[in-house]
Amino acid sequence: MSVLINRNLLDQTTFRSTSPAGLACVIHTVAHEGEHELQLLGETEAPTETVPVTIASQHPGPTAPAARLEVNPTALGAARRRRSPSEPPEHQLLQPGAHLLINTPVPQDARRVRLVRKADGAVVFDSASLGAGDRFAVTLIRPGRYQIENQLDGSKLILTVEYPVTGPLPYRPPPPMQIACTAAGFEARATLVKPLQGLIFLCSAPARLHLELCEPDDGPRPEAGPGPRRQAPDRHDGTTDASRPVLHRVQRTFRSTREDG
């Protein structure tokens, strides 16, 4: 069985709740009934794409309100390019309590997302500032030490992803670990996680979360190599020579997991 691996995901070492992409996702639960507008924003406050959204417990038409809406800026941008200039974007119908799942597969296409109530222009959700009940989910692959920071209050937490160890059995990552993001800071039962183990940050206070690799772990130095260990570059947005063995090992482990499942 062949498995296609997205190299962008293997190399991803920075994650932002403002514009979740790759192996990061923001989940927001809608609550207010009525007509809304979903906005994608770039560098400015002017939306680059808008989608009409109705939140209602019932609907007289043939379509029942959905329980979730996957917000993919790449797909929305492609749909806009396919439409004629006079054709409006597809209207979305959601039930109260439905989930907005915000993720961009391609990090370069990541966008900030905002939900605005049309009746009064109130912003009921903005990914630049997560609120109580919002969740930020991340899957870490690259071993090493990561720092997660709430950029709204400065609180920080250090997490370590263990270097993978191969064995006779296919690797299965542990269940996702939940970490509370509160007004007093981060609350986690552990700070050591396994490769491919999910992290779910549960917000109970305003949060703008930024998670970044600060010290990569490229495994033990080969015995035949007496020279100094290679130093990783200041920015961890690519694959260095030192990181290739660990990425290959994670790729083999990931393939074994997929084939066994």
Quick: pLDDT tens for 196-228: 999 999 999 999 999 999 999 988 776 655 555
Chain centroid offset of residue 254 CA = 19
Rounded distance, CA 46 to CA 44, Å?
5
Strands 47-55 and 92-102 come out as parallel
pTM of the model: 0.81
How much of the chain exceeds pLDDT 70, in percent? 80
Whether residue 242 is predicted with pLDDT greater than 50 in this model: the reply is: no
Q: 125-153: per-residue pLDDT in tens? A: 999 999 999 999 999 999 999 999 999 99
Q: Is 243 exposed, middle or buried (0-12, 13-18, 19+ CB in 10 A)?
A: buried
Q: Over the stretch 171-193, which tens digit does the pLDDT of each residue have? A: 899 999 999 999 999 999 999 99
Q: How many CB atoms lie within 10 A of CB 2?
A: 6
pLDDT for 106 equals 84
Dmax over CA atoms of the chain, in Å, equals: 74
90-106 mean pLDDT? 94
Give the whole-angstrom CA distance, residue 225 versus residue 6: 31
